[in-house]
Amino acid sequence: MVLAAHRQGKTPSIHTRRIGPAMVFGRLWDELHIPQVLQRLLSGRRLTFALERILLLTVLHRLFNSGNDRSCVLLWKRDYAIPGIGAVDLHHVYRAMAWLGEQLKHGDKSLVGNKGYHKYLHGEGPKFTIDEEKIKWEERFDGKWVLQTDLEEMTAEDTALQYKQLWMVEEMFRTVKTLLETRPIFHKCDETIRGHVFCSFLALLLRKELQDRLEARGDKFEWAELLRDLEALQYTEVENQGKRFLLRSDLAATTAAVFRAAGVAIPMSIQKVEK
């Protein structure tokens, strides 16, 4: 009855929020144990703002609308249902970026999650620099396909098939260029700039996790289509006969598969808002 009345324009809409992004990437955020890592780094320090929620907010913004933190807080977040960010102001985001940047300054290399990159890093105490000599040595193999493995049971064909999966590298490089397109940056301190940029790497981490899960299920979608379909999923709050309801929009082409890959239940078409 409520759905029919809404389609006929008989129920006034109170507001509409996009729910797909936070539901899917919020689940991946939790399952990658990012909140626990942040809690450990806080080491009992009491903050007056929701640090973990702010970082998730900025990472979601990188995924769906790469830009600066100012536009994220003042404009973008208004249209999205993200638990725990209602009272977040711009100065909270700047303080969160400064805190994250300070943690990175204390131990950069430990936060580089992909161990394959470590061989190109040169440690200098708690910080690191890129080992240019190592990169130059590796350039000898540019333009050649050289495979090396210590798995003697693998045939040459099996080894080649495994490495063929690296077609994703080119795709990920294109992603990096998009996710790292963070200008203009309104931060002035090194710590806040460092934290701002690192959130782009967290966004890349979430993207890689979702793509791996989709691939494991045999689902292949264009990334732009996937994001568009997630953004299209929304709840509209309406009022009917003195009661309020949340009406979910129809699922787009990729949405159901993405929710399954993330392990998230698809929300009901209609929910009553309890006062």
Residue 121, in any domain of the structure: no
Least confident piece of the model among 3-7, 30-34, 72-76, 91-95: 3-7
Residue 130, in any domain of the structure: no
Q: Is the pLDDT of residue 126 over 70?
A: no
Average of per-residue pLDDT across 254-270: 95
Report angle CA 102, 103, 105 to the nearest 5 degrees: 65
Q: In this prediction, what percent of the chain has a pLDDT beyond 90?
A: 32
What's the CA gap between 57 and 161, in Å, rounded?
38
Residue 133, in any domain of the structure: no
Q: What pLDDT, on a 0 to 100 scale, did the predictor assign at position 192?
A: 72
Average of per-residue pLDDT across 86-107: 83
Looking at per-residue pLDDT, the higher value among 121 and 250 belongs to 250
- Per-residue pLDDT band for 40 (boundaries 50, 70, 90) equals confident
Residue 120, in any domain of the structure: no
Write the DSSP symbol of residue 67: -
Q: Is the pLDDT of residue 73 over 50?
A: yes
Least confident piece of the model among 43-47, 49-53, 174-178, 250-254: 174-178
Q: Is the pLDDT of residue 123 over 70?
A: no
Residue 41, in any domain of the structure: yes
Q: Is the pLDDT of residue 97 over 50?
A: yes
Given a contact cutoff of 8 angstroms between Cβ atoms, the answer to whether 97 and 191 are in contact is: yes
Q: Which residues pair with residue 128 across a beta bridge?
A: 123
Residue 183, in any domain of the structure: yes
What's the CA gap between 263 and 259, in Å, rounded?
6
Return mean pLDDT, the chain: 79
Q: Is the pLDDT of residue 75 over 50?
A: yes
Write the DSSP symbol of residue 268: P
Q: Is the pLDDT of residue 149 over 80?
A: no
Residue 118, in any domain of the structure: no
Q: Is the pLDDT of residue 52 over 90?
A: yes
- Per-residue pLDDT band for 113 (boundaries 50, 70, 90) equals very low
Total domains in the fold of the chain: 1
Q: Is the bond into 267 cis (omega within 30 degrees of 0)?
A: no
Q: How many separate helices (H) and strands (E) can be counted in the chain?
A: 12, 6
Q: Which domain holds residue 23?
A: 2-111+143-272
What's the CA gap between 243 and 24, in Å, rounded?
29
**Is this model's pTM higher than 0.95 or not?**
no
Residue 263, in any domain of the structure: yes
Given a contact cutoff of 8 angstroms between Cβ atoms, the answer to whether 28 and 203 are in contact is: no
Looking at per-residue pLDDT, the higher value among 253 and 161 belongs to 253
Q: What pLDDT, on a 0 to 100 scale, did the predictor assign at position 107?
A: 57
